[in-house]
A and B are shown apart, each in its own frame.
Chain A
Amino acid sequence: MFVQQAVPGRSMDQLSAEELDTRGAWDVLYADLAPRVYNYFRYRLGSEADVEDLTSRTFEKAWRSRASYRRDLAGFSTWLFKIAQNVGVDYRAARRSHLPLEAALDVATEGTPERHAELRSDLARLAALTAGLPARERELIALKYGASLNNRLIAELTGLSESNVGTVLHRLVKTLRTQWYGDVSTLDE
């Protein structure tokens, strides 16, 4: 299990809602999960903007409604990441509906010095490489590498089978790796 075992012989991920209220348990969970949620949003959005705000929103919603969390249904991290997914969906939907039409023309600005500098940011490069992928595959990348979740938890969160998660991720990483190192050589020329 990926969460420290503060209670001997038991994963912190399996604590009940009452146990979550104990100071020590919550501190350990927070220390483990906050960086994961933070990085989940970084990978999912492909930028640093608004990541802190979305991480805060996720934890605040989870904290407010933790009484409704049932450990017999899902691990705490699964529950938390489901909230993070919904926060992300809401954020993207709100942002999309306010994008000016001209934003769609940004694709035409490639090749400018600013764009070149932006591409040198690894995260922006990843965003550029994954931009053409379906949302489900971008989600898988964010959950696997941003949140560092295992395939079983990713399967629970996405509704895919565990083996399907593994297969899709394997194919994705293979493609991205080729593009990634190809991309580096292009930039360095």
Chain B
Amino acid sequence: MNDDFLHRLRREPPPGFLAELKAKLDRQSAPARPRRLSFSRGLVVGLLLATTAFAVTSLSINSAPKSLHAFLAAPVELVARMSSSPSQSEDRQLHGPVPLGPAWLPTHVAPQPQGDALEANPPASATAVPAPPIPEEAKSSSTQPAATPTGYEILDVIATASAFPHAQTVADHFGKNFGQLRVSSDMNGTALNSLCNPDSKGNPSVAELYHRLTPAELRTCPLKLTEFAVGHQAIVLARGRLYGPLRLSARALFLALARQVPMPMPTDPTQLIDNPNTTWNQVDSTLPYDRIHVFGPELGWVQEKLAAALLLEAGCDTYPWIAELRTSDPARYDRICKTVRSDGAYEGNAAGGWALSDNLVHDPTTLGIYTLSEFARSEDQLVANLIDGVEPTPETIVAGTYPAARTLYLYVNRRYWGNSLFDRLLAAYLLPLNLYGSDPAGWGFIALDAAERAEVQATLKRYSDFRY
């Protein structure tokens, strides 16, 4: 294979840059590698500690224990204090008194600005609530596309932030072939308003949203819109096979992983506090007494933002007062429902899903976030945890029963029926080849299956027949 022309493009990096980077790395001290005890060594150490604790505690009891249970529980509590890891010791110093029960405590950091929240101001809830009227300022919002240049026709697509990479990938493919498509990102949640405003010529013809519009929302739109599903986004929360899958509820996930959670009863549950939960049994008494520790994409990365939205939103919406914020105060809703904690319970892993498998096998109470395809590659080592009793499978994702999944929808102004550009755009969206899924940016994306695609094509045909 004559590929010299490709090899010739290689170039050595500037020596100054290499030296500078090397010096920078050398200056950074290596993080302490967690020591792993072998099973036999761990067993011996554990037995010694338990024996010592039992003896010391038994001797130190001044009065007779009130019950056998109290007599046995005392050494166990002492062992729990003594067996904390080095990192736990650091936390102990930070937090003063050593807690019995969860030995690890989170270190809260100052909240980060939320300007880059995954969905900045989603247009409406998935539940049936009346949508607000279209504000005047929407007509001059930053989501409005530039004026159409004369000479050729351009289709404008507006996409919500998490749907934008998918829309852009389709546009890349479409644009290289036809060159007449513009995609803009809806940064202020006015995609629906932009699409439905009939007064401006510069408004988009198509909107790609991460949720389905409610009948109430559709009623606010003076235009006739047609809806198409274009794909799904889903993630899997997995762990090693040793203890089998956890049966998590969406609310437990929210309480375990959100940066801020409602104060527990009987205090005011409408007040938020930094997430104090450290073990799974604190968020759901049926779950084991294991440390909440979840590996996922690095904090701040697009994948992490998607994972946070998929993992937290369903549980967040179980609090009615928070669910209402979706329409009344979308920015606050995003801060609560799409922001994962950064105190150590959630740990970013730069190498991504597959690189986690070994860590999860060695630490079987730790959970890892995977895409469906990443998980399939590690399925011999891992199990998928159930959320609200539902297992993540292509069937449950398509059916919409798996909470950590959602469908991307395309909304189209019907006046574009019969426009050849528009027909090509839809064809690009419905390509059986999963262009976006094979793009690393398409992390978590699942293309429509054959039945769903057939359904969309049937809708297309129905409108085409009507047209002609």
Contacts and interface: CB of A to CB of B under 8 A. Distances in A.
Given A30-B22, A67-B32, A135-B438, A35 B5 contact: no
A86 B13 contact: no
B169 interface: yes
A107 interface: yes
B452 to A, nearest CB: 21
A101 B32 contact: no
Contacts of A144: 6
A25 interface: no
B28 interface: yes
Interface stretch (B72-80, B95-103, B353-361): B353-361
A135 B8 CA distance: 22
Contact of B440 (A86, A108, A181): A86
A68 to B, nearest CB: 7
Contact of B8 (A34, A92, A122, A176): A122
A141 B5 CA distance: 12
Given A38-B13, A67-B34, A56 B298 contact: no
A185 interface: no
Interface residues of B, number: 70
A7 interface: no
A104 B350 CA distance: 31
B415 interface: no
B358 A70 contact: yes
Contacts of B176: 131-132
Given A145-B3, A177-B2, A86 B28 contact: no
B358 A67 contact: no
23 contacts: A35-B12, A39-B13, A60-B28, A62-B350, A82-B352, A86-B297, A86-B298, A86-B303, A87-B350, A89-B443, A90-B301, A102-B146, A104-B181, A131-B176, A132-B177, A134-B173, A135-B438, A145-B3, A173-B6, A176-B5, A176-B6, A177-B5, A180-B5
The 3 A-B residue pairs with the shortest CB-CB distance, nearest first, are A135-B439, A132-B176, A136-B438
Interface of A: 17-18, 21, 30, 34-35, 38-39, 42-43, 52, 55-56, 59-70, 72-74, 79, 82-83, 85-90, 92-94, 96-97, 101-102, 104-105, 107-108, 122-123, 126, 131-132, 134-136, 139, 141, 144-146, 148, 158-159, 170, 173-174, 176-177, 180-181
